[in-house]
Structure 1
Amino acid sequence: MSDAPAKSVGNGTSDLEVKDGQIIFDSVWTSLERELGRAKLAFPREIFWLNGAPGAGKGTNTQFILQYRDYGAEPIVVSDLLSSPEAKKRIDAGMLVGDREVVEILFRKLLAPQYVTGAVVDGFPRSMVQVECLKHLFARLNDLRQEFRHSADGVRFPKPHFHILVLFVDENESVRRQLKRGQECLEQNERAKRDGAPEIEVRKTDLSAEAARNRYRVFKERTYEPLQSLRDIFHYHFINAQGSLPEVQARIIKELQYQSSLELSEETYDLISPIPLSSQITQHARQDLVRRLDDYAERQTVLFRRVIELIQEKFLPIIRSHAISGQAHVNIETPVFDDALAIAMFIDIFSERGFHAVVDQHRIEIPESVDLTTGRILTRLKKVWRVSIRFEGSEIRRGGA
Structure 2
Amino acid sequence: MRLIFLGPPGAGKGTQAARIVAKHGIPQLSTGDMLRAAVAAGTPIGQKAKAVMDAGGLVSDEIVIGIVADRIEEPDAKKGFILDGFPRTLAQAEALDRMLESKGLKLDAVLELKVDQDKLVDRIVRRAEEARAAGQPVRKDDDPEVFKTRLEAYNRDTAVVAPYYAKRGQLTAIDGMQPIDGVSDAIASALSVAAQG
Q: Residue 112 in 1 paired to residue 74 in 2?
A: yes
Q: Pick closer, same or farther for the CA change 1:104–1:243 going to 2, 3 Å.
A: same
What secondary structure does 1:230 align onto?
Answer: helix
Separation (CA, whole Å) in 2 of partners of 1:181 and 1:83:
29
CA positional deviation for 1:126: 0.6
Count of residue correspondences:
188
Residue aligning to 1:14 = none
The 8 Å contact of residues 9 and 150 in structure 2, kept in 1 or not, is answered as: yes
Q: Following superposition of structure 1 onto structure 2, how do residues 274-293 of structure 1 map, counting pairs within 5 Å?
A: none
Residue aligning to 1:47 = 2
CA positional deviation for 1:184: 5.2
Residue aligning to 1:62 = 17
Give CA-to-partner distance per residue, 1:330-363, whole Å, 9 cap, x none.
xxxxxxxxxxxxxxxxxxxxxxxxxxxxxxxxxx
Q: Pick closer, same or farther for the CA change 1:185–1:171 going to 2, 3 Å.
A: same
Q: Which runs of at least 4 in structure 1 moved beyond 6 Å after TM superposition?
A: none
Q: Following superposition of structure 1 onto structure 2, how do residues 236-315 of structure 1 map, counting pairs within 5 Å?
A: 236-261=171-196, 263=197
What secondary structure does 1:67 align onto?
Answer: helix
Q: Pick closer, same or farther for the CA change 1:183–1:76 going to 2, 3 Å.
A: farther
Considering only CA atoms, is the larger Rg found in Structure 1 or Structure 2? Answer: 1
Q: Residue 96 in 1 paired to residue 58 in 2?
A: yes
What secondary structure does 2:11 align onto?
Answer: coil
CA positional deviation for 1:251: 1.3
Q: Pick closer, same or farther for the CA change 1:215–1:96 going to 2, 3 Å.
A: closer
What secondary structure does 1:96 align onto?
Answer: coil
Q: Following superposition of structure 1 onto structure 2, how do residues 108-187 of structure 1 map, counting pairs within 5 Å?
A: 108-142=70-104, 160-183=106-129
Q: Residue 220 in 1 paired to residue 155 in 2?
A: yes
TM-score of the aligned structures, taking structure 1 as reference length: 0.42
Q: Pick closer, same or farther for the CA change 1:213–1:255 going to 2, 3 Å.
A: same
Give 2:170's aligned amino acid. H
When the two chains are superposed, the root-mean-square deviation of aligned CA atoms in Å is 2.5
Question: Which ranges in structure 2 are unaligned for 5 or more consecutive residues?
Answer: 40-45
TM-score of the aligned structures, taking structure 2 as reference length: 0.81
Question: Which has a greater percent of strand?
Answer: 1
Residue aligning to 2:143 = 207
What secondary structure does 2:120 align onto?
Answer: helix
CA positional deviation for 1:105: 1.5
What secondary structure does 1:231 align onto?
Answer: helix
The 8 Å contact of residues 6 and 112 in structure 2, kept in 1 or not, is answered as: yes
Give CA-to-partner distance per residue, 1:229-256, whole Å, 9 cap, x none.
1123253221110021111112112222
Question: Which has a greater percent of helix?
Answer: 2
Q: Pick closer, same or farther for the CA change 1:62–1:181 going to 2, 3 Å.
A: farther
Q: Pick closer, same or farther for the CA change 1:49–1:211 going to 2, 3 Å.
A: same
Separation (CA, whole Å) in 1 of partners of 2:132 and 2:121:
17
